[in-house]
Amino acid sequence: MATKIYDSGTINLVDGTEIYLKPLKIKYLRDFMDVFDLLKACKDDEQAIIVLSECATITMKQYYPIIKNREELEDLVDLPTIYKILDIAAGIKINDKSEEPVKKQAEDSGSTWESLDLAELEAEVFLLGIWRDYEELETSLSMPEIIATLGSKRDLDYQEKKFLAAIQGVDLDKQSGKNNANAWEEMKARVFSKGQTSDPNDIVSFQGVRAQQNGFGIGMGLGYEDLT
């Protein structure tokens, strides 16, 4: 049974230090996306790589705070490693073997975050009453964790309402259009596929918790290869 909500991994610095990577907590993701937004003004891949390296440097606040600036990071890792950091940290996927410009690859991956209403998602999950304030929440959860938490909460709330409605002879699925694709399912698909799709039926969206809920998916013996 799958138990992963998100992908993780490790990198090795040139000095032999091993660093464990997982999606950025919201606190750091905010800073990451502020810098990532500068990519729009880049005129070529050389400028884009500098911005992406700055983004990777921000991730070190969570992963390895000893690294303080881009120059220090670039002394310790190569470009493919920076791309791996960006992928795991925020779902920014760049294939260094692709002929497509780095800037375009990065923008196509990262644009998905602009369509998420983070404030609304945080407000809903905060109602669980686990965190003292939003600062603690943002330090505790990454985007995949927020989506997984809200998904479970909403499913439980809906099942309770469905049960109460059934007692009164009401089919809540039919009344609410539950069986139709909706914005929530599309958003979950975007997050779990790291921006590769908004179609909840696309196989690349069945990863982590979605794979577990559906009994199959990437990471459960069903793999795929990115040929781009």
Q: Note whether 19 and 49 are within 8 A (CB).
A: no
- Please count the CA atoms within 13 angstroms of the CA of 199 that sit on its side-chain side: 6
Concatenating the DSSP letter of every residue in 143-210 gives HHHHHHHHHHHHHHHHHHHHHHHHHTT--HHHHHTTTS--HHHHHHHHHHTTTS---TTSGGG-BTHH
Interval 41-88: pLDDT, tens: 999 999 999 999 999 999 999 999 999 999 999 999 999 999 999 999
Largest alpha-carbon pair distance within the chain? Answer: 67
Measured CA to CA, the distance from residue 168 to residue 29 in angstroms comes to 45
* pLDDT tier, 222 (very low <50, low <70, confident <90, very high otherwise): very low
User: If you average pLDDT over residues 115-143, what whole number do you get?
Assistant: 89
Interval 169-198: pLDDT, tens: 777 676 665 554 455 566 666 665 555 555
Among 98-102, 157-161, 178-182, where is mean pLDDT lowest? 178-182
* Mean of per-residue pLDDT scores for the chain: 80
Any idea where the domains of the chain sit in the sequence?
A: 9-115, 118-214
Nearest CA to 67 out of 17, 136, 24, 33 is that of 17
